[in-house]
Structure formats: C-alpha cells, structure tokens
Amino acid sequence: MESGLGGRTALVTGGTRGIGFAIAQGLVGEGARVALLARTRDALDDAVARLGGDEVATGVVADLGDPGSVDAGVAAAAAWRNGLHVVVNCAGPPMQSGAVGDLDDDPWVDTFTTKAAGAVRVSRAAMAHLPDDGTGRVVNISGVTAASMIPNAGVTGMTNSAVQTFTKYLAAELAPRNILVNAVCPGMTLTEGWLQRAEAAAEAQGITRDAFFENMTAKLGIILGRWAQPAEIANVVVFLASDLASFVTGQTFIVDGGQAAKAI
C-alpha cells in the first residue's frame, strides 16, 4: 500500500525530540520533507542533522505561546518548499502534576496556552497553505489523560480534551476543502523526558528505573503491560497523514496499550 507521502511537505511542531521527532522520522521514512518547529535553535539543528540534513528537513524557531512568533514560524515553514500538505501539532509541555483544587492559575494558563491554543494558532496560520486536492491533513496530538483518569493530571487532561474537541470543529470547518483533521491520543510513552523523570523518581524511591516503569504500568492498568516506544505513536500519525486515511476525519485515535479500554 502506498502512503502517497513521497515529495509532500509536513510541519511538525515539537519535532526536536520525543514523540514529535519520531513522527518526523516516520514521515521522512515515507519520503516526505519535514519542517520542525520548536523554541531552541540548537535542538532544531541537531534534529535536522539526525533526520538526514537540509535536503529532507528544516528547523523553524517559534514559541507557541506567542501568536506573532507562530505566524512567522508557520510562514517560514510554508515558504521552505512553497506550501504545506501536512500539519502535526505535537508540541506540548511536560505533564503538570497537582490536584486541580490546589494549583494556581500559572500551570493552567501555561499548559493551555502552549498546547491547546498553540495547536489552534498553528492550524490557523497553516490553513491558507494547505491544498484542497485531498492531500491536506492536520493531525493533533492529545494525550491519554483525556481518556483515562491519572491522579493529579487534571490540568493536562483538560487541555488534551480541548485538543480533541478542537479537532472535531476544525474537521467540520475544513471538510468543504477536503482537508482531513484527526487527533492521536498517546498513552504513556518512553520519551527522553520520561526516561529522565523516571531516573530521578526511581533514585528518590531507592528502586531501579525498570522497577519504576513496572510499578507505574501496574498502577495505571496498561493492559499490554508496558509503555509505548515513540515510533508506535508515530506510526498512527503517519497513517492519518497518508492517502490511506482518505475517508477519516474528526476522529481521535487512542494509542495507549489498552490503558483506557478498562472503562467500559
């Protein structure tokens, strides 16, 4: 089966590491060219090099918290290869921890502004650059906290729910242009960030990092009994970005090893 992604151009926010980098790798693997958007120039340059260099990737500095910077970043990404076919809204802050009744405004505003409002800003700026010929795609990354209760993850969960609702509205708005909009809701994923956090937490608890992940897996009830590799999330994003998903829009795909399947 042909993905049809060869020669198309994608913008991946948060593409310098973790799930976003795996998505960029997956798209490049299908022959797409990828513009990465993040705040840190060195990390962008490093990611571009790891993807294969300037022929296949470029890096754009922008902060999703700043609308002007997003507009300029998306314009630069679209100018790179004279248009965009695919937009992946992946950038987001690490999971916020705290009871919803205890946290003050800052974590709410920061998380929502970066992730949910950021996805809106990027999509809005990119819309004019997407084609009307059936190849245009927006894929938003939400998160399992919107599908399954994780203690003290309310801020992140509500933001991820907003991303999923945004996905439905945007799908309806862009359907007349034959642009498809979907979301992927990843479960717990072994990104560099989580590996570091697990290392620190394991040390504090006097256990190994593997034991930390095993305990979390059991506590969260991930029925496949393990966390995801970033590529396992990216595979679903690549499918949605491809021609193979030509009749799919307005949906959220939960890719969580069955964590949310427990709620019937």
- Residues engaged in binding ligand NAP (CB under 6 A): 13-14, 16-20, 38-40, 43, 63-65, 90-94, 114-115, 141, 143-144, 186, 188-189, 191-194
Measured from the CB atom, the residue of 16 and 161 that comes closer to ligand NAP is: 16
Nearest alpha carbon to residue 125 among 81, 173, 77, 167: 77
Measured from the CB atom, the residue of 17 and 137 that comes closer to ligand NAP is: 17
Tokens representing 165? 């609702």
CA distances from 239 to 1, 105, 246 (A): 11, 37, 10
Nearest alpha carbon to residue 35 among 86, 72, 69: 86
CB-closest chain residue to ligand NAP = 18
Q: For strands 252-255 and 137-141, give the pairing.
A: unpaired
CB of 106 to ligand NAP, least distance (A): 14
CB of 16 to ligand NAP, least distance (A): 4
DSSP symbol at 189: B
82: left (phi over 0), alpha (psi -120 to 50) or beta: left
Measured from the CB atom, the residue of 4 and 143 that comes closer to ligand NAP is: 143
CB of 124 to ligand NAP, least distance (A): 15
Neighbours of 150 (CB within 10 A): 19
CB of 68 to ligand NAP, least distance (A): 13
Measured from the CB atom, the residue of 135 and 147 that comes closer to ligand NAP is: 147
Phi, psi for 255 (deg, rounded to 5): -125, 80
CB of 130 to ligand NAP, least distance (A): 20
Nearest alpha carbon to residue 123 among 79, 176, 84: 84
Measured from the CB atom, the residue of 175 and 223 that comes closer to ligand NAP is: 223
